[in-house]
Amino acid sequence: MSTKIRQYENLVRSFYKPLYRYAFWSCKNKQVAEDLVQETFTRAWKNLNQLKSLDAAKPWLFTILNRENARRFTRKQLPMIELSEEWNLQHIADKNNEIDKIALQRAIMKLSDEYREPLVLQIIAGFSTDEIAKMMSLNSNTVSTRLFRARAELKKMMFSANVKVGEKNG
């Protein structure tokens, strides 16, 4: 087995799950997320010689995934109908915790792209501020500001949602 094949297999084993989680958070569709990850690894295979060190693999793969996700909006797509993830989760977990989780997911999805993308890269994919800055071609201070504003906006949305729920019950 060649070194290239072993290196590629290690990348897939190491990064499939975090890439899938991030892709799913980005598009909220299992099939699209799987397609995005598959396209990411296809491009990674074709360009494996561009990967200079294994330390750079994670941001490199996530950058490819982000570009693939952007490309899907330039392609013609047929509408997809799928049972919501909410329906499946509500039957598994405690309803109160599940409602909070769903409300948080909805609030995150309502954030503008400039705030949602770095937040999801940090909380779902586990990237540092510096790594996010490199991936998004931004200054680290800009990323920190966006993360701060994203969290502030989330708190405001979640507080507003809790007040509305409390008003209905009270």
pLDDT of residue 113: 83
User: Does this model's pTM top 0.95?
Assistant: no
Mean pLDDT of successive 10-residue stretches along the chain, which has 170 residues: 83 91 87 91 88 84 87 57 44 51 78 86 83 87 89 81 50
Q: Which domains does the chain have, with CATH numbers?
A: 3-72 (1.10.1740.10), 85-169 (1.10.10.10)
Identify the pLDDT of residue 126. 81
User: Could you tell me which residues come within 8 angstroms of residue 25 by beta carbon, excluding any fewer than 6 positions away?
Assistant: 108, 120, 124
